[in-house]
Copies of this chain bind each other. A is one copy, B any other.
Amino acid sequence: MTETSWQPGCPVPIDGVEPRITLAHGEGARLTRQLIDAEIRSRFRSAPLAPLPDAAHVEETGGRIAVTSDSYVVSPLFFPGGDIGSLAVHGTVNDLAVSGAVPRWITLSLILEEGLPLPVLQRVLDSVARAASDCAVDVIAGDTKVVPRGAADGMYLNTTGIGTVIGSPPPGPQAIRPDDAIIVSGPIGRHGMAVLCAREELAFDPPPQSDSAPLTDVVKTLHRVADGNVRTIRDATRGGVSAVLHEWADASELSFRLDEATLPVSPDVRGASELLGIDPLYAACEGTLVAAVAPDVADQVVQALRRRPESAEAAVIGSAVDRTICPVTIRRTLGREQPVDEPTGAMLPRIC
């Protein structure tokens, strides 16, 4: 960024000592939450924003609609298991689904860098169209902007999703109680590891594959089987399962205890994560959810999820406990209990 980009007419002192945005502010972990709390929520205190960080529900004549918006800046644009186009659709559809809404419509806004080869744009748009069709959502409005060479990295997308709220959405993380079971719908950390390995051109064979996929049917199964005993559901994107549980610990004033032996991790992710020293708990998923459910329905839910191909490896990975000094702990396979820290961010930048 040239310093002059915001100088004309701008009295803000640019002196190098004031606080600045860092990559860590974008990673979905502690610094992101702090930035959002301090700068965003404080200014936009609309009631709907408060309980639902990713999808807002608004009352509309005759029903409720849910709204979510995300920008996608993933690098590289294409990675094993997906690309920026399918990722944008899946991410938006999943934010709506976990909030209790049926995704219906999305908007698509493009920021293109001058010089982007047209075939790259075409391939991404084809992918958006295919994913939207798979998810039964219509792309209904859009926008195209072009910035000069060097003012973007190929292309960025924004998708805003609108859905209709069906039935009663889950009450939210503040409803979690001690002994509630924590369930994941499949192997964790696949998207984050796939993007990281593609970006750094790490030649793992086979390369980790992103789990980018719609969660609509998984969420439906969860609600059908748990029937009112779902406390909250989240897609574990930036910051991975760890970030979700830290948020829930804050909201519920409880702690979470995980058991490493039960954590589903695919062999490709396990290999890459051991070599790179990155715990899959911190790596993003884009087609895997985390749910807190009442303990007595947990086994039933897992059995039902395992009958679906996209959640065949669903598992109970831990439970809520009374608040301890650590918001999240994990019992390692050798039996030792360790804290799961909340990273401040920046470990895996630009994975979505």
In the complex, which residues of chain B have a beta carbon less than 8 angstroms from the beta carbon of A119? 12-13, 18-19
Q: Specify which of B35, B115, B151, B153 is in contact with A144 (CB 8 Å cutoff).
A: B35
Asked if A339 is at the interface of the complex by the 8 Å CB criterion, the answer is: no
Question: How far apart are the CA atoms of A164 and B63 in the complex, in Å?
Answer: 13
In A142-184, the 8 Å CB interface with B consists of 142-154, 156, 158, 160, 162, 164
Question: How far apart are the CA atoms of A227 and B294 in the complex, in Å?
Answer: 58
In A113-149, the 8 Å CB interface with B consists of 113-123, 125-126, 128-129, 132, 138-149
> Mask for A1-37, Cβ within 8 A of B = 1, else 0?
1101111111011100011111111110000100110
Quick check: A153 and B1 within 8 Å, CB to CB? yes
Asked whether A150 and B1 contact (CB < 8 A) given A10-B120, A70-B143, A78-B10, the answer is: yes
In the complex, which residues of chain B have a beta carbon less than 8 angstroms from the beta carbon of A344? none
In the complex, which residues of chain B have a beta carbon less than 8 angstroms from the beta carbon of A56? 105, 107, 140-141
Quick check: A63 and B62 within 8 Å, CB to CB? yes
Asked if A39 is at the interface of the complex by the 8 Å CB criterion, the answer is: yes
Asked whether A138 and B12 contact (CB < 8 A) given A60-B62, A67-B162, A116-B1, the answer is: no
Quick check: A26 and B158 within 8 Å, CB to CB? no
Quick check: A199 and B8 within 8 Å, CB to CB? yes
Quick check: A141 and B36 within 8 Å, CB to CB? no
Asked if A48 is at the interface of the complex by the 8 Å CB criterion, the answer is: yes
In the complex, which residues of chain B have a beta carbon less than 8 angstroms from the beta carbon of A61? 60-63, 164
Q: Give A148's nearest chain B residue, CB to CB.
A: B23
Asked if A336 is at the interface of the complex by the 8 Å CB criterion, the answer is: no
Interface centre among A9, A13, A14, A39 (most CB of B within 10 A): A9
In the complex, which residues of chain B have a beta carbon less than 8 angstroms from the beta carbon of A104? 58
Asked if A303 is at the interface of the complex by the 8 Å CB criterion, the answer is: no
In the complex, which residues of chain B have a beta carbon less than 8 angstroms from the beta carbon of A109? 69-71, 158, 160
Question: How far apart are the CA atoms of A199 and B75 in the complex, in Å?
Answer: 30
What are 29 sample pairs from A and B whose C-beta atoms fall under 8 A apart? A1-B149, A5-B153, A6-B78, A9-B78, A9-B198, A10-B123, A12-B123, A19-B118, A20-B117, A21-B116, A21-B121, A23-B148, A26-B112, A26-B147, A39-B118, A40-B144, A44-B142, A48-B138, A49-B140, A55-B141, A58-B105, A58-B140, A61-B164, A67-B162, A69-B107, A69-B109, A70-B109, A71-B145, A147-B156
Enumerate chain A interface residues (CB-CB to B < 8 A).
1-2, 4-10, 12-14, 18-27, 32, 35-36, 39-40, 43-44, 46, 48-49, 52, 54-56, 58, 60-63, 65, 67-73, 75-80, 104-105, 107-123, 125-126, 128-129, 132, 138-154, 156, 158, 160, 162, 164, 198-199, 201, 349-350, 352
